[in-house]
Amino acid sequence: MASETIFNTVLISTIVMIGLAMAIIILFNLSQKRILAEQKEAHDNELAFQKELLLSNIKTQENERSRIARELHDDIGSKLNVINLNMRLLKGIIAKNKDPEVVLDHINTAIKSSIERTREISHELMPPILTKFGIHSALNSLATSINRTGQLEMYLDIDEDWGPLEKMQELHIYRIIQELSTNTLKHAKAENITVESSVNNNVLKIVYSDNGVGIKDQVTFMTGMGISNINARSKLLNARSKLNTEVSRGMQFEISIPI
């Protein structure tokens, strides 16, 4: 009788242990499946983001090419046509031994205007002040140009020592602030813009804020070309960005860049 009791106890214990082992194996498999599913989802999200980033960059480039093509065709092209027309008139005047002074003045004016417009287009692509004097001078120039409009005031409180930055990094930072300020000028009805910066633990933090009406339609804003360009440039800077819409009035954008 005692041996039967021991046998039953051992049997029950064995069954329980097998059950526990199977439960552990099942839980482990479920956990592994969940982890793999999360990893796959994260990988798919990363691929989707990379695709969106690539499409955004391509779209931005194509839009910029289209804009430059329009500028060249509508502005520079028309001025060159004027020059060409005046050259024909000049030939006729010279052939008739008349005074070419007036036509020469027209040609000279058109050439100067074409040169100036060409310089403006090239400056829009890569601001010369950024290339020659760096990001701080470029931002000061941007603030000066905005303040001259009389619509609002742009204040800069930026740390002079940002550490070593490549020119493309400076260009990305400049374009981000330029895009934000353009959005403020167009939509915010703000009285001022403030740009602040600080450097801590090899991270450059830039905070852009305005005191305008804020972002009423966040869906449209977050899916717009402007924020897409900002996100693309933030990604190229390996930066973390944050849009703060909880401020009492206006909007605030923070970007943290490893340097």
What pLDDT was estimated at residue 244? 79
Same domain, 165 and 179: yes
Same domain, 88 and 16: yes
Same domain, 155 and 173: yes
CA-based nearest residue to 134, from 98, 90, 164: 164
Please report how many Cα atoms fall inside a 13 Å half-sphere around the Cα of residue 196, on the Cβ side: 8
What pLDDT was estimated at residue 150? 83
Question: Residue 213 — φ and ψ, nearest 5°?
Answer: -80, -5
Contact present, 215 and 251 (Cβ < 8 Å): yes
Same domain, 81 and 176: no
Same domain, 117 and 136: no
What pLDDT was estimated at residue 124? 67
pLDDT in tens, the chain (259 residues): 556 666 566 666 677 667 666 767 777 677 677 777 777 777 777 777 766 766 666 666 666 666 676 666 666 666 676 777 777 777 777 777 777 777 777 777 777 777 777 767 766 667 778 888 889 999 999 899 889 888 889 999 987 778 788 888 888 899 899 889 988 888 878 899 999 999 988 899 999 999 888 777 666 666 666 787 888 888 888 899 888 766 557 889 999 999 8
pTM over the 0.75 mark:
no
Same domain, 67 and 185: no
Task: Classify each residue of 168-206 as buried b or exposed e, where b means 16 or more C-beta atoms within 10 Å of its C-beta.
Answer: ebbbbbbbbbebbbebbbebbebeebbbebeeeeeebbb
Contact present, 125 and 119 (Cβ < 8 Å): no
CATH number at residue 142: 3.30.565.10
Same domain, 92 and 192: no
* Cα 27 from Cα 187, distance rounded (Å): 54
* Cα 248 from Cα 213, distance rounded (Å): 10
Last residue of a domain, one of 125, 150, 176: 125
What pLDDT was estimated at residue 108? 77
Quote the domain boundaries for residue 141.
128-258
What pLDDT was estimated at residue 162? 85
Same domain, 81 and 164: no
* Cα 172 from Cα 154, distance rounded (Å): 19
Contact present, 225 and 60 (Cβ < 8 Å): yes
**What's the domain count of the chain?**
2
Last residue of a domain, one of 106, 125, 144: 125
Same domain, 80 and 171: no
Last residue of a domain, one of 95, 125, 155: 125
Same domain, 198 and 107: no
Structure tokens at 68: 């430059």
Same domain, 133 and 251: yes
